[in-house]
Amino acid sequence: MGMTIQITDISPSLPSSVFKCNHPYSIFEGAQRLTVLEERAQETQTAGKVTIQIFEDNETDATYHDDMSIGEDNGYALISFVEERLKALYPENDDDIAIFIEKLTDAYTYDTRQVEVSEPTEQEQEETTVVAIPTETVPDEAQKQIEVEPKIEKTHRIKRPSLRVPWKRISIIAGVALGVLTITIGIIFSVAAYQSKSLAEEEPKREVIQQKYAALIRDKKYTEAADISPEQVLDIENLIVEQGDIDALRKFQESYPTTEGAFDLACLEKHWDQVITYQKAKQTKERQYMLAFSYLKVGNVGEAEKRNATLKSSTLKKLISDYRILTNNIAISESNLKKAGLSAGEKQSFTSNLKEYKAQLETLGEE
């Protein structure tokens, strides 16, 4: 059941004393502390975020890493929050999500059992336990007190009952343990039954939504597809860009505007100066190329070369070389036209060359 939770970041508006950042807590204790944090946030009418990492079985990389908004009741239900977030982010991974949530629930239940077993106090650890053996049943030479070594190390593990504990005490301990075990088993079955019921109820609904989403995409009803599946807005936007549908992208941007959509739309419309203004868009390899290309198209050759030093694009390198050649030829043609005493044939030749060079420069890289 070795799962732990860590808080790696917490908003300044929230009380930081509830958590030690980057400190591993059991799932149960982490959930309890999130509940306290949620209560304090709502009492003080504040809000903020915490960054959660959940680690599995001594793994060094977090299995789950996400932000949780505090002040919106999320802190009251850690497991439900994680399950909803995973389903929203990875709707196609239902089986993996169910397995992870089951492990998380088991770890929470296991941690609950450990917390319910009281720790020995320092006084109990330091004192020597003395148990007298009745004289009626023990020989005289054995009628001395037997010292039992104390257990110094604190632990949450259930200690074995001493063989010399009176039977009445053993009965009480056994009754408490049986009660805890019964409650724990009830919790496990209740949670499992609830999850099974939830999954059974949500599966048909999810399947219907996925089918409807696929049909809307097929019919190019992109805005309607985003309405029923808003978490896939950027995927839809990328799909429109791949198809080069400028009108569809412009319409989609009106309903679901993103910096990425504005960047891609400016590229499709060949508004190179606008592309540069949207360079804060998530820079994929394709967008990095288009940004460098846009700098070249507006005449900033130095910036284009600087960015291609990282990209190492042979295509862009050739375009930069062609740009230099064409601008040089344009300058020569313009200079020749200013010469005195040109014949009509020479003037026409220089003019024709200048027009051709400018046309090539205007469409450079756009074919």
What confidence tens digit (pLDDT) does each residue in 255-306 have? Answer: 999 999 999 999 999 999 999 999 999 999 999 999 999 999 999 999 999 9
What percent of the chain has pLDDT above 90?
52
For residue 153, the model assigns a pLDDT of 40
- The single-letter code of the amino acid at 176 is V
Average pLDDT of every residue of the chain: 81
Burial 306-325 (b: 16+ CB within 10 A, else e): ebbeebebeebeebbeebee
Task: Write the pLDDT tens digit of every residue in 63-108.
Answer: 899 999 998 888 888 998 999 899 988 888 888 899 999 888 888 8
Residues written for the chain: 367
- Mean pLDDT confidence for 137-146: 44
Distance between CA atoms of residues 38 and 49, nearest Å:
11
Please enumerate in sequence order all residues whose Cβ is within 8 A of that of 34, keeping only pairs 6 or more positions apart, or say none: 50, 68, 70, 75, 76, 78
Question: Six-digit token pair at 122?
Answer: 């320092």
Distance between CA atoms of residues 48 and 42, nearest Å:
11
Residue 148 in this model has a pLDDT that exceeds 70:
no
Half-sphere exposure of 143 toward its Cβ, with a 13 Å CA cutoff?
Answer: 7
Of residues 330 and 166, more confidently modeled: 330
Residue 120 in this model has a pLDDT that exceeds 50:
no
CB atoms within 10 A of CB 168: 7
CB atoms within 10 A of CB 272: 19
CB-based contact 10:50 (threshold 8 Å): yes
Residue 62 in this model has a pLDDT that exceeds 80:
yes
- For residue 364, what are the CA distances in angstroms to 127, 277, 279, 296, 313? 88, 21, 21, 10, 16
Instruction: Enter the pTM of the model.
Output: 0.46
Nearest to 22 by CA among 34, 10, 35, 40: 10
For residue 198, the model assigns a pLDDT of 53
For residue 129, the model assigns a pLDDT of 40
- Mean pLDDT confidence for 234-241: 95
For residue 112, the model assigns a pLDDT of 61
CB atoms within 10 A of CB 263: 24
